[in-house]
Amino acid sequence: MFNGAGVAIVTPFNEGKIDFEAFEKLIDFQIENNTQALIVLGTTGEASTQTFEEREKLISTAIERVGGKIPVIVGTGSNSTQVAIENTKQAENLGADGILLVTPYYNKCTQKGLIEHFTTVANVTSLPVILYNVPSRTGVNIAPETVLAMSKVKNVVAVKEASGNISQILEIKRLVPKNFKIYSGNDDQVVPIYACGGHGVISVSSNVIPKEMQHMCQAFMDGNVEEALRIQLLYKKFIDLLFYEVNPIPVKAALNAMGYIKNELRLPLTSMEESNRIKLVDEMKKLSII
């Protein structure tokens, strides 16, 4: 798949419709700043509010704009296994390089249910599959033993770990094969997860600071842990502010402050509270982001 920083890219809107011109500019910004992978239609991309037809055009646009320079990974997960299958087939047919499968939300299935769900979806595609564990949003945690079971499925190659539980991530690393990749799903834990044997991050912050996030990853991979930690700490407050309200509310406010997109989300998400937006913008100014 990739090593380093991949971006969980936002989906820009303009008067309720996807702003494809802005989307293409965001992709160009990522490629120019050495992002290692483009992840579309994830949590940050507001996938749950987009139609099948919108998904098709967004995926096609991303693949065409990237032009093979970096992998395009598509979030195809759902709380319905059948919908996840349809999304996955769509992504593969359009030319995606991989898929990201979130745990089924709301249903709160058992670990057995997770294994059957993930396996069923993985078996309909030849694409590499990244599992996505974000229990704070879905209400379901992927246990390390479940990750181990899924690592035995040929095309399940990685997990995006956003549980925040370092002990759990260490246990996953202990159990899975050496070639199974672990990506941080939390931007404030990139260096710690690298230290646990991780391989990079699927990042929200990379929407705003792609060069810096990749530099942090590359520094660690090059053995310069002090430099990686310096960057992690330098942007710690900014990262915290990007999650001061639910993602992607703050990151869209940040991109709007940079002039890239309109500050527009789809309900039930709403724009960032003004008092919080001011704090975010102030920190961006301190860091010379704007």
| Catalytic (active-site) positions | 132, 160
- DSSP helix/strand/coil, 222: coil
Residue 270, annotated as binding a ligand: no
Task: Judge whether 175 and 147 are in contact, CB under 8 Å.
Answer: yes
Q: Provide the pairing of β-strand 156-161 with 181-184.
A: parallel
How many helices (H) and strands (E) the chain has is answered by 13, 10
Nearest to 261 by CA among 213, 210, 211, 208: 208
Residue 31 · residue 14 · CB < 8 Å: no
Cβ atoms 173, 196 nearer than 8 A: yes
Pairwise CA distance, residues 100 & 241, whole Å: 25
Residues 6+ apart with CB under 8 A from 136: 162, 163, 164
Of 182, 140, 189, whose CA–CA distance to 157 is shortest? 182
Would you say 261 is a known binding-site residue?
no
Question: Residues annotated as binding site for pyruvate?
Answer: 44, 202
